[in-house]
Amino acid sequence: MAGPDFSEIFRQEAQDLLEQLEAALLDLEQSPDDRGLIDGAFRALHTLKGSGAMFGFDRVAAFTHRFETAFDRVRKGLAPPSRDLVAVALSAKDHIRTLVDAPAAAEPAEGEAILETLRGVVEGDAPPSAAAPPDRPVPAGAAEAPGASVTWRVRFRLPRNALVTGANPLLLLDELRALGRCTVTALTDGVPPLDELDPEACHLAWDVTLTTAHPRAAIEDVFIFVLDESDLTIEPHGEPHGEPLGEPPSGRAPPVPAPSAPPAGPAADAEAGEPDRPIPGDAPAGRRDADAAGARDPRPGTSLRVQAERLDELMDRVGELVIAQARLSQLAGASSDANVKSVAEELERLAAGLRDITMGIRMVPIGSLFGRFRRLAHDLSRDLGKDLELVTSGEETELDKTMIERLADPLVHLIRNSIDHGLEDAERRRAAGKPPRGTVRLGARHSGAEVLISVADDGRGLDAARIRAKAEEQGLLAPGAEASDAELFQFLFHAGFSTAREVSAVSGRGVGMDVVKRTIEGLRGTIDVATRPGAGTEVTLRLPLTLAIIDGLLVRVGRGRYAIPLSAVEECVELTVADDLRSRGRSFLNIRGDLVPFLRLRELFATAAPPDPYQKVVIVSAGDLRVGLVVDQIIGSHQTVIKSLSKLHADVETFSGATILGDGTVALILDVVHLVEFGQAREERLKAC
């Protein structure tokens, strides 16, 4: 059996770290005084450097080390976290991503240029005196004697499970030795009797006297990945000098040399080692192991990384199980054996629970998608010279992972258009009485069985007259033909349609919005556009929760059976003979005082079989619109496993897919959104007559 692909493990780990780094940098631009953001960015860089060196990504480790060295000046308060710093740091992050994903495509000269720019930013703004940051305690005399050695007392005890989780205290001690001359004392007061000793637990503690010219921060960095669960104290010990302390404190065991480890472990009264050892990435072995252990240390409540292909396969298996369960239920219904009926009911309950759990596994918070667009807005703000803010809401809204993956490109196009075409520049906004900073809002929320994702801006809004003129110019609309604003706005999604007066590097060629429409329709969703001249535009994407399994209402029309998504069904009523006769020519039903148009599916599907004497009407809705679907029989609810139609039927808009019934026959799934739009359009035509 093949072992794990460690390079792929590192790439997945690096992806998470780079996302953390990007989020911290973007937040830092808005909150430059937030110390936690600076430390978070530095911690992500530090972990990435150590893991890269450990997994053999030496170019990643070397570049990240130099990036980290420059950013360390920001962490120490020697350079301010300016907008220029964030911009070049984001470019450095992009270069690291290229080194991880496609190292052959990474240009060394480009990396050197980025690092040189980064060095210039952090050193050009550095204060003349390299004083220690004020929030770190410094022993007396250190500031008056720059570069002098200082003696520190370092005492630490690792958690009992430290050895199991991969931490190596010998390598941590080796890192301390690399900082200067040190004396190590092992504290054995926590070692239990032999018959109670757990060989996998860490029972020792250490007392280290370290004389070094490095700052306290360098000592803290040794323990950066075990700090949260360890008992650690770092205190100044004595005045600055160049010699190590003599005897250890009274009552302690005499210093003992640590067992040999590659490289040599720390020993009592060890000679001062090299402060900087030139290995790839300049990350000591102890740091690399600690980094990797800290990054992959499982914690209670953490998530488990699973390949997406396995989830897809699990979903397929659950779908087949649902189909088999439906067949068993059908057989049990025709059987008089009570045991068979009982087993069928139990299996139906278990299959429904397994379906819900599997669906829940596939659901992902949409915040994982929204986070990507913060960088897009940041870059467009710089490229277009527009001051803007991206505000997100509803990040906790969950959506099927397959849909989230396919939504990335449509949302990129919508956000670009909002920023480039929607938002005015600062001067025009001031002239219109608006704040100079524009706002783009990206939100998500649940609405019944749908998820609504909206992209809204407070810009100039859409010009319906200009859209009409462009549509007539391109032959999409007859001159003088009647068209509502909603119909005019849909022309924006035609290929090659653009009202932009100038073509920019971002948009304006009429390419992209047609991709948005095709993708959303492929997800069985719809697009709504609303605008207020001078106040902004909002584009709303209406999407189903999932593309895999839904609860459906099974109906019969003639001899054919069809499934209607149960989430879209409001109610079922009987079509009386009087209503049937009265509605001839004008198909409306009076539902508690509201006139609801209805469609006769027998006519729509050209069914030849005679109708049932008592037909039923299924009232379905999409958004605020309702329509009735006349069917011959309502069979009942059915767990519907959605199967995609073939490319031959790609243009059939009435159906969104198909499902396999318990007897092996196929039932088509009605596209409720299309049928509602079709019914409402027919109603408008009848009213105009």
Beta pairing partners, 528: 540
Q: pLDDT grade, residue 623 (50/70/90)?
A: low
Residues 103 and 214 placed together within one structural domain of the fold: no
Q: Residue 659: left (phi > 0), alpha (psi -120 to 50), or beta?
A: beta
Q: What is the pLDDT of residues 127-149, one digit of tens each?
A: 433 333 333 344 433 333 445 68
Residues 317 and 409 placed together within one structural domain of the fold: no
**Domain, as residue range, for 233:** 150-296
Residues 512 and 424 placed together within one structural domain of the fold: yes
Mean pLDDT of 243-251: 36
The number of beta carbons lying within 10 Å of the beta carbon of residue 82 is 16
CA 378 from centroid of its chain's CA atoms? 17
140 domain residue, yes or no = no
Q: Which of 61-65, 487-491, 648-652 has the highest mean pLDDT?
A: 61-65
303 domain residue, yes or no = no
pLDDT value for 286? 40
Residues 587 and 537 placed together within one structural domain of the fold: no
Residues 246 and 178 placed together within one structural domain of the fold: yes
Strands 536-544 and 549-557: unpaired
Nearest to 135 by CA among 33, 32, 239: 33
pLDDT value for 556? 92
DSSP code of 5?
-
Mean pLDDT of 152-169: 84
> How would you list the strands of the sheet with 536-544, edge to edge?
388-393, 438-447, 450-457, 536-544, 526-532
Q: How far apart are the first and last CA of the chain?
A: 73
DSSP code of 499?
-
Residues 347 and 373 placed together within one structural domain of the fold: no
pLDDT value for 321? 86
- The alpha-helical segments, DSSP class H, found in 102-214 are 108-124, 169-179
**Look-up of token digits 């909603």:** 486
For the chain, what is the mean pLDDT?
77
Q: pLDDT grade, residue 57 (50/70/90)?
A: confident
606 domain residue, yes or no = yes
pLDDT value for 54? 75
Residues 14 and 102 placed together within one structural domain of the fold: yes
Q: Counting Cβ atoms within 10 Å, is residue 61 exposed (0-12), middle (13-18) or buried (19+)?
A: buried
Q: pLDDT grade, residue 604 (50/70/90)?
A: confident
Q: How far is CA 450 from CA 204, 276, 374, 680, in A?
A: 57, 58, 25, 20
Strands 450-457 and 438-447: antiparallel
Lowest mean pLDDT among 274-278, 493-497, 674-678: 274-278
Radius of gyration of the chain from its Cα atoms, rounded to whole angstroms: 34
pLDDT value for 253? 36
Residues 337 and 287 placed together within one structural domain of the fold: no
Report the C-alpha gap between 628 and 621 in whole angstroms.
Answer: 9
433 domain residue, yes or no = yes
For residue 570, the domain's CATH number is 2.30.30.40
For residue 340, the domain's CATH number is 1.10.287
pLDDT value for 538? 92
Q: Which of 146-160, 174-188, 355-369, 502-516 has the highest mean pLDDT?
A: 174-188
Q: Kindly tell me if the per-residue pLDDT of 281 is higher than 50.
A: no
Q: What is the pLDDT of residues 334-374, one digit of tens each?
A: 888 889 989 989 988 898 888 888 877 878 888 888 888 88
Any idea of the CA torsion for 571, 572, 573, 574, to the nearest 10 degrees? 180
Judge if pTM exceeds 0.75.
Answer: no
Q: pLDDT grade, residue 683 (50/70/90)?
A: low
For residue 62, the domain's CATH number is 1.20.120.160
Q: Kindly tell me if the per-residue pLDDT of 126 is higher than 50.
A: no
Q: pLDDT grade, residue 240 (50/70/90)?
A: very low
Indicate the number of domains in the chain. 5
Residues 56 and 83 placed together within one structural domain of the fold: yes
Percentage of the chain surpassing pLDDT 90? 8
133 domain residue, yes or no = no
Q: What is the pLDDT of residues 373-402, one digit of tens each?
A: 888 888 888 888 888 889 999 988 888 887
Any idea of the CA torsion for 581, 586, 591, 592, to the nearest 10 degrees? -90
pLDDT value for 295? 40
Lowest mean pLDDT among 90-94, 171-175, 254-258, 556-560: 254-258
pLDDT value for 132? 35
Lowest mean pLDDT among 289-293, 319-323, 514-518: 289-293
Pick the more confident residue, 265 or 620. Answer: 620
Residues 183 and 273 placed together within one structural domain of the fold: yes
CB 531 within 8 A of CB 637: no
Domain end (from 520, 544, 568): 544
Pick the more confident residue, 424 or 264. Answer: 424
Residues 243 and 228 placed together within one structural domain of the fold: yes
Mean pLDDT of 634-659: 77
Report the C-alpha gap between 552 and 660 in whole angstroms.
Answer: 12
Q: What are 249-252's contacts with CB under 8 Å, separation 24+?
A: 249/207, 252/185, 252/187, 252/207
Mean pLDDT of 505-509: 47
CB 280 within 8 A of CB 219: no
Q: pLDDT grade, residue 684 (50/70/90)?
A: low
pLDDT value for 687? 60
Residues 438 and 568 placed together within one structural domain of the fold: no
For residue 382, the domain's CATH number is 3.30.565.10
Got the DSSP string for 605-673? Answer: TT--SPPPSSEEEEEEEETTEEEEEEESEEEEEEEEE-BPPPGGGTT--SEEEEEE-TTS-EEEEE-HH
